[in-house]
Amino acid sequence: MANIFAKKPLAILLGEANSSGEGTLKRTLGAANLVALGVGAIIGAGLFVRTAAAAAQASGPGVTLAFIVAAIGCAFAGLCYAEFAAMIPIAGSAYTYAYTTMGEFVAWVIGWALIMEYALGAATVAIAWSEYLNKLLQVFGTSIPYAWSHSPLESAAVNGVMEHGIINLPALFIIVMLSLLLIKGTQESATFNSIIVVVKVAIVLIFIAVGWQFIDPVNHTPYLIPENAEPVKNAAGEVVRSYEAWNKHGWGGILGGAAIVFFAFIGFDAVSTAAQEAKNPKRDMPIGILGSLAVCTVLYILFGHVLTGVASWREFADPAKGGEASVAYAIKEHMPGFEWLSTAVTVAILAGFSSVILVMLMGQSRVFFSMANDGLMPKAFSELHPKFHTPYKSNLALLVFVGAFAAFVPGSLAGDLTSFGTLLAFVLVSIGVWLMRRSDPNQPRPFRSPLSSASFPLVPILGAVICLGMIAALDYNTLKLAFIWMLLGFVVYFLYGKRNSKLQQGIVVVPTEMEEQALIEPDVNNK
């Protein structure tokens, strides 16, 4: 009977990382490209939406502290990712790391979960991209008809007339365009992403710089929501926010706010999927992962400080002023003469969505590439374009799958499944670092996460525990859908993956001791 928990030998992975020529990905990305990829994946609408939501629901002006707490939680997982990515510079991210530390079945589980993070995430963001495109067009007095910008499962009253969706063409359009760009080449995609990152970061910095002069110190006093804070009521006198619960005021509110803004950090792990395309992964991968996390944390803290200083956190508790319109509301009501900045923020959100979709599609195609190389997915997913050296068949399959989801399914159905897939990956990568320290203590590690020894794995434990807590905090319906998705994954594994696995069939050849020693220090700098 085949062992479904068989591990892929580390020496094999190092050999794949050191291979070159036909059938391998081109190493074209430097440290700056990788940081830009991380920033591109992290900064989306989460910055513009979740900041006001966390301030209004739990943290008040202390949302800046909530961002710090959330960043610390991400940093534990980020340190573990950085250690793996520098040691095993190969495509596949958490899937690959799990394969060599916890075995094939766990690797399959995490690969299947990553589909929720990347593929479903890209589709959901594409649907939101469509909504914001219409908001931008409305500024210029036009819009895309409801029928051609919504799923056939959606309907709504437009100007007193009930409209029904047919297809979400803008969402499909952005998926097609970015998929074709990814097929064209990794360097071209990274260049496009870098341009987008410059645009959206510039607009965020402009908001911070302009908004700073409109900060009213009164709005920052008190800095934490007091225990006896009065509930917020709407115009009809109905209570819309109350603050009695332990996680709705004081330091408990900081933790409650951290849970809300945590998901604005999701995306830095996608950097690790590009490890096989990094010029010098030993040095550049830790810089890309931790550097992008650091850049975004600083921007988030400054943004939160300005937003809650320009407008009172209690204003954002009103649904009419909070949510997606929070930043636009603050600009319109409290920053006279800068109404144009509201339109610029919409442009930044569109740019942010574009880069998030790009990096998610890239990450998913690289996970498929690795799984197909191992026989767990159809071989077509590992085939590279003869000219561009990109996994074009994987990109085309995603174009069809993700494009169909974006065009015909409402974004609300995906819910927080993206978050579940991400958090599960964080948990297993954190555990994997500890297991690797125990099983291969002498393996060279160009980057070592601190406080992560085999006998004292503090960082891995904290990373796993914090992320497990976040999973437990997801709503019941999300957990139920995630459970159904994982059951479907088990069926696919036992019907296809296990039968076609190269490791199970003995196709993977374990190197001799001499060959293994030669692979311990792969030369990846002269590709």
Nearest of 358, 359, 481 to residue 421 by alpha carbon: 481
pLDDT at 525: 38
pLDDT at 455: 86
pLDDT at 332: 86
pLDDT at 439: 84
Task: Say what angle helices 63-87 and 250-261 make with each other, to 10 degrees.
Answer: 50
Nearest of 144, 126, 305 to residue 215 by alpha carbon: 305
For residues 461 and 435, is the Cβ–Cβ distance under 8 A? Answer: no
For residues 525 and 30, is the Cβ–Cβ distance under 8 A? Answer: no
> Phi/psi at 521 (nearest 5 deg)?
-115, 75
For residues 61 and 218, is the Cβ–Cβ distance under 8 A? Answer: no
> Phi/psi at 348 (nearest 5 deg)?
-65, -40
Give the ranges where 269-391 is alpha helix by DSSP (H). Answer: 281-310, 313-316, 326-334, 340-373
CA of 408: how far to CAs of 127, 225, 232, 396, 402, in Å?
10, 42, 38, 18, 10
Q: What is the mean pLDDT of each run of 10 residues along the chain (527 residues)?
A: 76 69 68 85 76 87 92 86 82 81 90 84 87 86 91 83 92 95 83 86 92 95 89 76 83 84 76 78 86 92 95 82 72 90 86 86 87 90 86 92 90 66 85 88 86 87 86 78 91 93 73 38 37
pLDDT at 25: 65
What whole-number distance in Å separates Cα of residue 452 and Cα of residue 459?
A: 6
pLDDT at 522: 35
Count of C-beta atoms within a 10 Å radius of residue 526: 8
> Which residues 6+ apart lie within 8 Å of 171 measured at CB?
123, 126, 127, 129, 130, 149, 406, 407
For residues 151 and 130, is the Cβ–Cβ distance under 8 A? Answer: no
Cut 0.85: pTM above it: no
For residues 467 and 461, is the Cβ–Cβ distance under 8 A? Answer: no
pLDDT at 142: 92
Q: Structural domain boundaries of the chain?
A: 30-519
Task: Classify 421 as helix, strand or coil.
Answer: helix
Q: Identify the H or E element spanning 191.
A: helix 186-212
- Say which amino acid occupies 81: Y
pLDDT at 320: 62
For residues 254 and 69, is the Cβ–Cβ distance under 8 A? Answer: yes
pLDDT at 518: 35
pLDDT at 193: 82
For residues 260 and 50, is the Cβ–Cβ distance under 8 A? Answer: yes
pLDDT at 494: 93
For residues 55 and 304, is the Cβ–Cβ distance under 8 A? Answer: yes
What whole-number distance in Å separates Cα of residue 260 and Cα of residue 316?
A: 15
Name the CATH topology of 30-519. Amino acid/polyamine transporter I (1.20.1740)
pLDDT at 495: 94
Q: Which residue has the tokens 């440290």?
A: 31
Task: Classify 163 as helix, strand or coil.
Answer: strand
Find the length of the chain.
527
> Can you spell out the DSSP letters for 213-243?
TT--GGGGSSSS--TTPPPEE-TTS-EEE--
What whole-number distance in Å separates Cα of residue 426 and Cα of residue 466?
A: 10
